[in-house]
Structure 1
Amino acid sequence: MQRYAGIWLLELLEAFEALAQEGGEPTHLVLVGAGSVRAVVDEAAARRKAVQGAAGRIIAAGERPLRAVARYITAGDLLALPSWAEGTPNVVLEALAVGRPIVATSVGGIPDVVTHGRTGLLVSPRDVGALGRALREALARPWDKRAFAEAAPPSWEESAEELQRLLARAAFGDSERIVA
């Protein structure tokens, strides 16, 4: 699953094409979102569909409401996010929360939330070969569901309480002075 974002999406398409050409169990790439490379995505999807006996399809779902995006994440076997630059993307946290491994680039805040080999596989940006190998490995390996439960982000209430403690400590030197 992937949100359209930019040129790096072309690398995901290239890595997926190589994976699909290897044969084996059919693998599908579902792309959710809209963006500047939509026409290229549609062309790639049409090419894959035209291949007789294709071992995988590209499904360009387009822009969807947030609830629908959550269903796509849950339905997928993994989340791929080969961005060249990121903060800490919510989509990664959402995938971890539902126990989906992540294949992503080691940029921005992604390595802070994805533990390589435990909750996903991290690759260098702009390395299509490494991305393809990581996709193949992530699809083939068994993942420890407990690791995802441990890595899942805290609830909104827990996050708010932790933020309150941190702000109290910064303002007053301890977290006991503010009572909620």
Structure 2
Amino acid sequence: MKKIGYLAAVIALSLSSTAYAKNGVYVGFDFAFSNQTEMEVLGLSATEDNDSGYNFIIGYQSPISDSFDVALEAEYRILGDAEFANDVKFESSAFFVNVKPKLYVGGENFFLAGLFGLGSVNVELSHEDISASEADIGYQLGFEAGYETNYGLGLNLGYKMAAAEIDSVDFTIDGFYAGLSYHF
């Protein structure tokens, strides 16, 4: 009978420590609520607001010190549609690999993070019956603040800017997002 009690205690402690772990694999979802797209070609630029966008993330977080972690992420972004003058429609998606340093402040649950990513940005422009789609290498920068519970759930609010040059046209998409993550 003592063995059952001992095994139950070991299982309970291991489950407990797993629930509190912030390092390791995590998944996330962001809702981009205020993206804006700027197109620049031949020195002329136009800026329009986008529809809402979405980001899907899988990452791995590793500790560097007691209050500093670094995460490596794979992120798929749906950047939202925009409509420019003369009915030119813009659609974009991207895949990025990000490095995200995180500094925990005011205890172990609140954090501030930076973000740098490289990846592929796909842009589709259409006007009436004509459309063109192209992809090229892009980058993104950002920052966020958040709170991670002791049970793996995280909430964050941040800003990202993605940029790419495709066929001599510079595209910049930036805006704010709110997100949710779960650390396994």
TM range (shorter): under 0.3
TM-score, normalised by the number of residues in structure 2: 0.19
Going by fraction, where is helix more abundant, 1 or 2? Answer: 1
Q: Higher relative contact order by CA 8 Å / sep ≥ 6: 1 or 2?
A: 2
Larger radius of gyration: 2
TM-score, normalised by the number of residues in structure 1: 0.20
